[in-house]
Structure 1
């Protein structure tokens, strides 16, 4: 599983942050990472606050949004969504991807509430909280991926 696709709604907040954070965490480990949105408009920039919280972590991003499509789903080995409703939408409209789509929390084995709250339209502090949550999950994902590779 080397090609990972992170999915949220508009591909301007959560999934671009997850993509950038995972890429930075696993640099040089052979992963290809992309992100998309189930209701995205192609070519939109990442939100200003998302860019700022990434820059606060030393990560530059020139992200533009991508609408989820069959080509991206076929490209990916693993699809990680920010919410259970994103997962359900993918499984409904792209049943061929059913076996490789999980919520991020589900895949790494975090029990409890599966959704990562959408900071869209919120304050910079809302984005910072979201980034901290995603960063913790991405750290756990990196460890999970290493264990999978070693087995």
Structure 2
């Protein structure tokens, strides 16, 4: 079983969307997808209502997800760790114990050559339209990522 972790700051906007979208594109019997945040702001909370709405509008249910904080043991539990932006990438890398840990961590948008800015924008302080734009960006990238993972 291949395991993939999506990581943003609070684990209520971007990484839950990436978690739900990628999970919907991969066979459950071969892949495990989860998400976490580098900060402890929202531990135990559901995703942001706007993330839930945008996902639901695209036939994906993320309402049962609960925010959790990234922990060092995630380096052992996951084969791939995708950070939503450079700040979270830096935070994750700062916890790495070895080069093996560091090699597992990538910026999520690195897999999408069509995007020059490799940071998924944080829609938290925005409107529903910002969440819709982030959803589209993540969805396009998950198409690419799922093909990479399945091949």
**TM-score w.r.t. length of structure 2:** 0.90
Q: How far, CA to CA, are the matches of 2:33 and 2:122 in structure 1?
A: 21
What's the offset of the Cα at 1:64?
1.1
In structure 2, the gaps of 5 or more residues are none
CA distance in 2, matches of 1:30, 1:101: 20
The whole-number CA distance in structure 2 between the counterparts of 1:42 and 1:88 is 20
SS in 2 for 1:95: coil
Report runs of 4+ in structure 1 exceeding 3 Å deviation.
Answer: none
The alpha carbon displacement at 1:109 in A equals: 5.1
Deviations along 1:63-83, whole A, 9 cap, x unmatched? 110001022222001100101
RMSD: 1.5
Greater helix fraction, Structure 1 or Structure 2: 1
Which residue number in structure 2 is paired with residue 26 of structure 1?
Answer: 26
**Residues paired across the two proteins, number:** 146
Q: What secondary structure, in the 3-state scheme, does the structure 2 residue paired with 1:80 have? A: strand
* 1:91 Cα deviation from its structure 2 partner: 1.1
Shift of 1:144: 1.2
Distance 2:46 2:112 in 1: 32
State yes or no: 1:15 paired with 2:19: no
User: Unmatched 5+ residue regions in structure 1?
Assistant: none
Q: Quote the Cα distance in structure 2 between the aligned partners of 1:127 and 1:5.
A: 20
**What pairs up with 1:1-151 in 2 under 5 angstroms?**
2-28=2-28, 30-40=30-40, 41-61=42-62, 62-96=64-98, 97-106=101-110, 108=111, 110=113, 112-147=116-151
